[in-house]
Chains A and B, each alone.
Chain A
Amino acid sequence: MTDSVAGISGMIIEKLLANPKVPRDIDGNSKIVEDLAFDSLAVMNFVMEIEDELDVSVPLDKLADIRTINDLAACLHTLKAAHA
């Protein structure tokens, strides 16, 4: 399930929806800061959870370029491929 960008994106959405404060209508194109109302600390803490799920570490500078859930999924996919 987490071998493709789409699979990782789906997993991220599932994790996000476990938080009742997150809007129900999110998809891969949802913007993490604007649509989910996450501040910088919330983003970093959420990414930590995903890192554990995929057994990769995302350097903080990579987060600067990430706006949507799909961007995050693509970044994680690249990092995971590099570790494989």
Chain B
Amino acid sequence: MTDIFAKHQGLREAYEGLTTASPRNPFEVVIERPISASVGIIEGRETLLFGTNNYLGLSQSKKAIEAAVETAETMGVGTTGSRIANGTFGLHRKLEAKLAEFFRRKHCMVFSTGYQANLGTISALVNKDDILLLDADSHASIYDGAKLSGAQVIRFRHNDPVDLEKRLARLKDHTGAKLIIAEGIYSMTGNVAPLDKFVDIKTRHGAYLMADEAHSFGVLGAHGRGVAEMQGCEDGIDFVVGTFSKSLGTVGGYCVTDHDGVDLMRLCSRPYMFTASLPPEIIAATMAALEDMQARPELRTKLQENAARLHAGLQKVGLKTGEHVSPVVAVTLETVDQAVGFWNALLENGVYVNLSLPPATPDNRPLLRCSVMAAHSPEEIDRAVAVFGEVAKHFGL
């Protein structure tokens, strides 16, 4: 009998190499419980959380908690069905209407996760006769959506409008639809996409443009509508996709658009149709978090101040970060061993960040990925920077 797991041998060797060299398994960190948005108990110790994507701290929003409790008590804890069968409650429709209004778009579809929002939107929009142009550093959910769609996939160099235009020019005789996909903020590096430039290009070449604002929704733009709002190019973005699991602190995903054709997506998007819809208490919490976010624009101001403080602090202690000041601040290291050692030392000294390893990172280099929150105090950021500095010194960096 063929060993069904034989194909994972390479992965096993890499995994065992990594976990043998590390005092703890970096893939099995347990946050025993959060104490607040910025502090959790890990290995019995109070630990500063600098790797949660909880940008506005709304996972702990009082209003969202109250809404979830009240809804669970009155409606139960699940829908037990698909959106196109028994899984659409009044609340799902209400959230879609609220999000469409927030983004000033005609239509909104809510998905059960952010991952499924990309899978479901991409696979419904394009098929084998169409071409997808993806930023080379796209998230796995975009690549997986592309695969599910069956469309031809062409990568363009990360954040490079000139390269995108060159590749579109090669497709001038292509008769199928062309869909460009870029992210607002890139999750690993914090890089911000030049969406305004992509809009100019897509208009010239007769393509559609989809922006994944997962990490920029609630974070950038005067009203929190993301990079497109910040760069003043929202009208040129055909589809905006994002998630509730970052700035809104819950779970789920969405796609908003002005294209009326999206209505039929509800009947052909398999990741939308063939899964249970979000439980009512999650929808209620998400709506309350959205209201909280709209009512407290000062959270975004605080977040930007905190992002700048962490970015400048890490650079000051001599670490290599990206150039963009965004709530994702990634410290780039040279080797996996160095990154694993550094990450362990941070955790032992009370700071949790994400250890991101190739090939999930650009340029084959490991990253210590930090995400900042509005909920961090200046003292917490300074403490994290000081620990980074001490550990860097210890490792001779």
Determine whether B35 belongs to the interface, using a CB cutoff of 8 Å to chain A.
Answer: no
Interface SS of chain B: helix, strand, loop or mixed? Answer: mixed
Within 8 A of B (CB), among A14-63: 39-42, 44-45, 48, 55-61
Count contacts on A: residues with CB < 8 A to the other chain: 15
Count contacts on B: residues with CB < 8 A to the other chain: 14
Establish whether residues B136 and A83, one from each chain, have CB atoms under 8 Å apart when the complex forms: no
In the complex, identify which listed stretch (B21-29, B49-57, B153-161) lies at the interface while the others stay far away: B153-161
Establish whether residues A41 and B153, one from each chain, have CB atoms under 8 Å apart when the complex forms: no
Q: How many A-B residue pairs have CB under 8 A?
A: 33
Determine whether B266 belongs to the interface, using a CB cutoff of 8 Å to chain A.
Answer: no
Establish whether residues A59 and B152, one from each chain, have CB atoms under 8 Å apart when the complex forms: yes
Question: Which A residues are CB-close (under 8 A) to B358?
Answer: 39, 41
Establish whether residues A48 and B157, one from each chain, have CB atoms under 8 Å apart when the complex forms: yes
How many angstroms between the C-alpha atoms of A56 and B167 in the bound complex?
Answer: 8
Given A41-B358, A41-B359, A42-B364, A61 contacting B170 (CB threshold 8 A): no
Establish whether residues B136 and A61, one from each chain, have CB atoms under 8 Å apart when the complex forms: no
Establish whether residues B153 and A56, one from each chain, have CB atoms under 8 Å apart when the complex forms: no
Question: Which B residues are CB-close (under 8 A) to A42?
Answer: 359, 364
Residue among B131, B153, B359 facing the most chain A CB atoms (10 A cut-off): B153
A83 to chain B: closest residue by CB: B170
Out of B155, B170, B171, name the residue touching A44 (CB < 8 Å): B155
Mask, B132-145, CB within 8 Å of A = 1, is: 00001000000000
Establish whether residues A48 and B136, one from each chain, have CB atoms under 8 Å apart when the complex forms: yes
Establish whether residues A56 and B170, one from each chain, have CB atoms under 8 Å apart when the complex forms: yes
How many angstroms between the C-alpha atoms of A56 and B157 in the bound complex?
Answer: 14
Given A57-B154, A60-B155, A45 contacting B359 (CB threshold 8 A): no
Question: Which A residues are CB-close (under 8 A) to B170?
Answer: 55-57, 83
Given A55-B170, A57-B170, A83-B170, A44 contacting B136 (CB threshold 8 A): yes
By a beta-carbon cutoff of 8 Å, the part of chain A in contact with chain B is 39-42, 44-45, 48, 55-61, 83
Closest 3 interchain pairs by CB?
A: A59-B152, A60-B153, A41-B359
